[in-house]
Amino acid sequence: MFNKRIRIKDLLASDKVNYEATVMGWVRTFRNNQFIALNDGSTNNNIQIVATLGEFDEALLKRLTTGACVKATGEVIPSLGKGQKVELKATTIEILGDSDAETFPMQPKKHSLEFLRENAHMRFRTNTFGSVFRVRHALAFAIHKFFNDKGFLYLHTPIITASDAEGAGEMFKVTALPLDGTAPKNDDGTINFKEDFFGRSTNLTVSGQLEGELAATAFSDIYTFGPTFRAENSNTTRHLAEFWMIEPEVAFNDLEDNANLAEEFIKYVIKHAMDNNKEDLEFLAQRLEDEEKQKPQTERSEFGLLEKLNFVVDNDFERLTYTEAIEILRESNHNKKKKFQYPITGWGMDLQSEHERYLVEKHFKKPVILMNYPKEIKAFYMRQNDDGKTVAAMDILAPGIGEIVGGSQREERMDKLTQRMEEMHIPAEELWWYLDTRKFGTCPHAGFGLGFERLVQFVTGMGNIRDVIPFPRYPKSAEF
C-alpha cells in the first residue's frame, strides 16, 4: 500500500516522538540545502523535514523546489526550532512530482488577491485560501448536521427548470438547439422551443424554493443545498453568476417561526466553524487586521473578525419592521447629510445594500431581521398581511455584506395567491403543479434562502465573494 502517510496536522498536534512516520505534501520552501518546509493542506502549518547534509544525492536536492510534491519517511524527533514541537529527520525522500521553480506561480511571497484570482487553479496552495476553503468545508458540514439533527429531509431540486421562482427573468437559457441561426422558428419569427430537448424553454434554476414547497407539504421539514444561477451583469464584491443556496421549507411555520429558525441556524453553523477551525479563523483574523490597518481610520471595522463572530453567536438579532427601518433611515444624519447614494425617499422604496449596512453597522451594531415589507417590492408567493399593504417577508442583514438571508411565510390561500399572480402577470397555467399544493391539503408554511458564499464571506472576513468559492463565475469569466 502506497499511502501510509500521516497528515501533517495530526503529526504536529501530537507530542509523541522517536517513531517512524511518512509524510507527503508540497514543498513551501527549502533552505540551507537541508530544511524542507512541507505542507499537505490539512493545516497552514508546515512540518520541517531535515535532510541531513551529505546523506542525500545532490541531484535530488536540486529538485526540492517550491511546489514540488514530496514523500518523506523518517524519525519524528523533538524540534530545536521555534514554533514547532516536532520535526521529521528524513531517511528517504522521494520526489513524486517536480515543479519548475522559474514558472511556478505561487512563489513564497505575498501575492495580491487579484493575482490569485487569475491563478485560481493554484491559489489553494496559499495559506489564505487554505484557511478559507477549510472553513467553507466546515460550514457546509455544519449545515447538513444542523438540519439532519432537527429531523429535516435533504431534497435535491432540479438545476434545469422551466419556472422562474423569483419572477426576475435574469436567467441562463438551457438549449440543445443550434446557435447558428438555423433553430426552428414559429410563424412570428421566435424560436420554436417545442423542437428543443425538453419540448419547451428551460433555464438554469434561480432557486429550488417552489419545488421545496411541494416536498414540505408531504415531509413537513425539508431543506435544499445546491447551485443556483443569475444572469445578472453584476461586477460587485457581493455577486456571482453561479453560487450555492441553502433553502429550508417548513410546513406549519409562520414568519416568527421562520425568523427563529434562521437565527438559530446562522448561530449554529458559525459556532461550529469557531469550535472546529480555530487555527484557520485566527489566521484570517490576523490577515483582516493587517488589511484594516491600510484603511483610513473612519473606514475601519469596529470589531475584529473573532470579536464579530462571537458577538453574532452570543447576542439576539435585532428585529424590526420595514416601516420602522425606513423611519430610522429617514431620520438618520447619514440621510439628512445626503451621504446615501440612494436617498431615502419614503415608504415603499426597496432598500439598497448601503441602507442595510447602515442599520447593521452604524445604528444597531449587530445583525438585524427586517420583517413585513411592502408587497409591491416582494415576490408573488409571499403571504399577504391583513393591512393590505405588506407581506410576511423577512431579510436578515449582517455586518460587512448586508442581506445574507431572504425569506417569508408563503401564501397558502389559493384565492389570495392566484389574485397576486394575476396582478404580477404570472401565468397560472405554467405553475399548475405549484397551485395544486393549495388545492389539496394546503397549510401555513414558511422558508428562507441563505446564500452560502455570503455566509462564508461573513465568517472568513474576505472582502470579495469571488474569493470564497473555488472557481468563481462572473461576467466575462469562466476560466477554470
Cell 405554467 belongs to which residue?
430
Find the mean pLDDT for residues 234-261.
Answer: 94
Q: How far apart are CA 250 and CA 247, in angstroms?
A: 10
pLDDT-derived band of residue 165, with 50, 70 and 90 as boundaries?
low
The b/e string for 365-397 (b: 16+ C-beta within 10 A; e otherwise) is ebbbbbbbbbbeebbbbbbbbeeeebbbbbbbb
The more confidently predicted of residues 146 and 110 is 146
Indicate whether 274 pLDDT > 90.
yes
CA distances to 145, 150, 258, 457 from 265, in Å:
10, 11, 11, 16
pLDDT of residue 229: 95
Residue 254: other Cβ atoms inside 10 A: 15
Q: pLDDT tens for residues 128-137? A: 999 999 999 9
Residue 94's DSSP bridge partners are: 71
pLDDT of residue 169: 59
**Nearest alpha carbon to residue 368 among 384, 351, 390, 387:** 351
Q: How far apart are CA 109 and CA 7, in angstroms?
A: 25
Find the mean pLDDT for residues 372-379.
Answer: 95
| In contact, 370 and 352? CB cutoff 8 Å | no
**Nearest alpha carbon to residue 123 among 106, 108, 135:** 106
pLDDT of residue 83: 78
Indicate whether 82 pLDDT > 90.
no
Domains detected in the chain: 8-104 (2.40.50.140), 125-171+206-467 (3.30.930.10)
Give kind and range of the element (H or E) at residue 20. Answer: strand 19-31
pLDDT-derived band of residue 104, with 50, 70 and 90 as boundaries?
very high
Indicate whether 302 pLDDT > 80.
no
Find the mean pLDDT for residues 49-66.
Answer: 95
pLDDT of residue 286: 96
Cell 487553479 belongs to which residue?
121
C-alpha cell at 441: 391539503
pLDDT of residue 298: 74
User: What is the reported pTM?
Assistant: 0.94
Cell 458559525 belongs to which residue?
270
Q: pLDDT tens for residues 209-242? A: 999 999 999 999 999 999 999 998 888 888 899 9
Q: Are strands 242-251 and 153-154 parallel, antiparallel or unpaired?
A: unpaired
Indicate whether 120 pLDDT > 70.
yes
Sign of CA dihedral 401, 275, 287, 32: negative
pLDDT of residue 219: 98
pLDDT of residue 81: 76
The b/e string for 192-223 (b: 16+ C-beta within 10 A; e otherwise) is ebeebeeeeebbbbbbbbbbbbbbbbeebbbb
Find the mean pLDDT for residues 333-354.
Answer: 92
**Nearest alpha carbon to residue 404 among 360, 357, 438, 450:** 450
pLDDT-derived band of residue 167, with 50, 70 and 90 as boundaries?
low
Indicate whether 257 pLDDT > 80.
yes
pLDDT of residue 438: 97
- The order of strands in the sheet holding 202-204 is 160-161, 202-204, 173-174
pLDDT-derived band of residue 300, with 50, 70 and 90 as boundaries?
confident
Q: Are strands 221-229 and 86-97 parallel, antiparallel or unpaired?
A: unpaired
Q: How far apart are CA 205 and CA 228, in angstroms?
A: 6
The more confidently predicted of residues 163 and 103 is 103
Cell 462572473 belongs to which residue?
474
Residue 92's DSSP bridge partners are: 73
Find the mean pLDDT for residues 12-29.
Answer: 96
Find the mean pLDDT for residues 142-149.
Answer: 98
Q: Is 472 left (phi over 0), alpha (psi -120 to 50) or beta?
A: beta
Phi first, then psi, for residue 390 (nearest 5°) are -120, 165
Say whether 183 sits in a helix, a strand or coil. Answer: coil
Q: Is 441 left (phi over 0), alpha (psi -120 to 50) or beta?
A: left
CA distances to 146, 162, 195, 430 from 175, in Å:
37, 12, 10, 19
Helices (H) and strands (E) in the chain, counts: 14, 16
User: In the predicted model, what is the mean pLDDT of the chain?
Assistant: 94
pLDDT-derived band of residue 243, with 50, 70 and 90 as boundaries?
very high
Q: How far apart are CA 342 and CA 131, in angstroms?
A: 36
Q: How far apart are CA 423 and CA 416, in angstroms?
A: 11
Q: Are strands 153-154 and 221-229 parallel, antiparallel or unpaired?
A: parallel
